[in-house]
Homo-oligomer: A and B are copies of this chain.
Amino acid sequence: MLDIITENFTNSTKKLDAILKPIEKELTLLEENLIHNILSGNRDLDKMVTYFFRSGGKRLRPAIVILFAKAISKGYLPSVNLELAQAVEMVHTASLIHDDVIDNAETRRGVLTLNKQWGAKKAVIVGDYILSRALGKLIKINTLAVEMFSNTLNELCVGEIMQKNQSYQIISLEDYINKSERKTAKLFMAATECAAAITKGTNNLIIKATRGYSLNFGIAFQIVDDILDFTGNRQQTGKPAAGDLKNGIITAPVIFANQQYEENGDLTLKKLIETKFRNEKDFKRALGIVMKSGGIEKANKLAREYVEKAVGYLDVIEDSSYKQSLIDLAYYTLKRTS
């Protein structure tokens, strides 16, 4: 389906482990610390908290934080950056837990969501708890870190509300990108901007580069996530098929599919969505339209544009294995299957 033939083709086919090899040690340390530092001493709470952290996750946000810090400071990693990497994964985790409550999701990473395993009520508390621990870490970094994450959380909530209120409506591509920025990209941006700001050897040009890379990377990441909702291997994504469409969350493949249909004067897809799929047959029909339209390919093309834009921002950063990993990571996101 994807057909990228560029000079980065070989890079893009690298496995994630290989891409993250230069920061393998740091990521192992992060993994240990993540579990160790989050414990509350309350057995029941700790059981739920570790359940989620142990269920996997790619740790992309910490990886980008560490890669940027090492790329800027010629391989040296201040411990404060490792703290930041942990905090950002904790904020991300808390947001996923609350998202699953909000979307009433059944599975994530191939296991039952916290809300399905222990109920929505406990899941709300666990999310709040992880957020409070993340906050405790951020305040030890600096004021800017807290400020950035407070703004990001703020944007995330507005993004979620936008999504809830736009459900079963064909939104414009612009609104979709705007929502993706708020829901996903801003957290990547806050994390990397903060990483750059606390790393020696940084300057305004570099900070601009981290912002540009992570914002565009984050948007691409969200687009691919939305494509995987349609094309992903269920065992790998750990999520149900076309769950977003079923829940009325309109993403890039659907927007492009509908655009194509509407240009031909065909309002079938739009009507099926706006009537909230009166039955399973309606839903399957809509899904069929999206799959056979060029929507998925167009969404892939859009994601690739954002990846290339992201990578372009890295020009001002000196070459190193860490910078190469950031490039590879961006292309990897287009090829990922979960």
Contact of B101 with A45 in the complex, beta carbons under 8 Å: no
Mostly, the A contact residues are helix
Contact A154/B139 with A98-B124, A162-B42 known, Cβ cut-off 8 Å: no
A173 CA / B331 CA spacing, docked (Å)? 59
Whole-angstrom distance from the CB of A131 to the nearest CB of chain B?
7
A129 CA / B102 CA spacing, docked (Å)? 14
A305 CA / B256 CA spacing, docked (Å)? 68
Contact of B125 with A154 in the complex, beta carbons under 8 Å: no
Contact of A40 with B128 in the complex, beta carbons under 8 Å: no
Interface size on A, residues (CB 8 A): 41
- Tell yes or no: A269 within 8 A of B by CB: no
Contact of B124 with A153 in the complex, beta carbons under 8 Å: no
Instruction: Report B-chain residues with C-beta under 8 Å of the C-beta of A126.
Output: 157
Contact of A131 with B129 in the complex, beta carbons under 8 Å: no
Contact of A150 with B132 in the complex, beta carbons under 8 Å: yes
Contact A165/B131 with A146-B146, A157-B125 known, Cβ cut-off 8 Å: no
Within 8 A of B (CB), among A289-337: none
* Copies of this chain, tallied across the complex: 2
Closest to A133 in B: B154
Contact of A147 among B139, B150, B160 (CB under 8 A): B139
Among A121, A157, A160, max chain B CB count under 10 A is at A157
- Per-position 1/0 for A97-109, Cβ under 8 A of B: 0100111100000
- Per-position 1/0 for A114-137, Cβ under 8 A of B: 000000111011111101110110
Contact of B125 with A161 in the complex, beta carbons under 8 Å: yes
Closest to A160 in B: B125
Contact A128/B150 with A101-B120, A162-B42, A164-B121 known, Cβ cut-off 8 Å: no
Instruction: Report B-chain residues with C-beta under 8 Å of the C-beta of A161.
Output: 42, 44-45, 122, 125, 129
Contact of A157 with B135 in the complex, beta carbons under 8 Å: no
Instruction: Report B-chain residues with C-beta under 8 Å of the C-beta of A165.
Output: 44
Within 8 A of B (CB), among A146-183: 146-147, 149-151, 153-154, 156-158, 160-162, 164-165
- Tell yes or no: A143 within 8 A of B by CB: yes
A163 CA / B262 CA spacing, docked (Å)? 54
Contact of B139 with A153 in the complex, beta carbons under 8 Å: no
